[in-house]
Amino acid sequence: MRLREKVALITGAGSGIGRESALLFAQEGAAVVVVDVNVPGGEETVAQVQAQGGRALFVKADVSKDAECRAMVAAAEDEFGGLHILFNNAGIMHASDDDAVHTEESIWDLTMNINLKGVFLGCKHGIPALRRSGGGSIINVASFVALLGAATPQLAYTASKGGVLSMTRELAIIHARENIRANAICPGPLRTELLMKVLNTDEKKQRRLVHIPMGRFGEAIEIARAALFLASDESSFVTGSTFTVDGGITAAYVTPE
């Protein structure tokens, strides 16, 4: 098993990438702390992990709140004795996120608080725990829009994910001599509830699909498999990287007919 005797904390694990990662990490031997604001979703993830014979604990936490991030890390150490993998996955893409003219300040602030501040707070409290465990892996979810502009205006989301990517690089440099690695995953458009709520018409979906050389949306499990590599010792010489899992969207702007 690739994560035997490891403890992983995954935010936003009540659905999507987070849930698939929790299931996969547990299959590979990790004890998993499932973090989400969605209590039914988080508890369902734990139930699924336990049903397959894995170990999991649910912690309700809003990643934009300092005290709640402190508590989720403490829960990992109290329940499982340490922390080796910090997967900052929680994020939002608000339907009212638009261009600079039309995006409300409240939507900007909400998006930044969860997508960017949430990663900062996860690291603020998670890194001391990783140190106490002798090191580990930080995985932050950025996006392909951190590398190029989105076809559909979503300025706050794009800016927040650019911040995650830059933060990850600096984390990697600062903590490289502490046996703590930090890497960012940049998913392409995925067939998850988060994105499908925003791309809520066939026209909007097609505007995204036309730019993806593989001609389809990605699946959450495909991102989870990338995260598993970064969580495992197989990536022991990988830090500060941008792991792009996007069906080729950043390699070619327009798909040939």
**Which active-site residues does the annotation give?**
157
Give DSSP secondary structure letters for 68-124.
HHHHHHHHHHHHHS---EEEE------TT---TTTS-HHHHHHHHIIIIIHHHHHHH
Q: Confirm if 228 and 25 have CB atoms less than 8 A apart.
A: yes
Phi and psi torsions of 98, nearest 5°: -145, -145
Q: Which run of H or E residues covers position 184?
A: strand 180-187
Give the residue carrying structure tokens 């998006």.
111
d(CA 146, CA 85) in angstroms, rounded, equals 23
Dihedral sign for Cα 132, 64, 158, 13, please. positive
User: Residue 33's CB: how many other CB atoms inside 10 A?
Assistant: 30
d(CA 58, CA 34) in angstroms, rounded, equals 5
Structure tokens at 18: 């987070």
CA distances from 97 to 109, 193, 203, 244, 253 (A): 11, 16, 18, 23, 23
Is 11 exposed, middle or buried (CB count within 10 Å of its CB: 0-12, 13-18, 19+)? buried
Nearest residue to 84 via CA among 24, 27, 10: 10
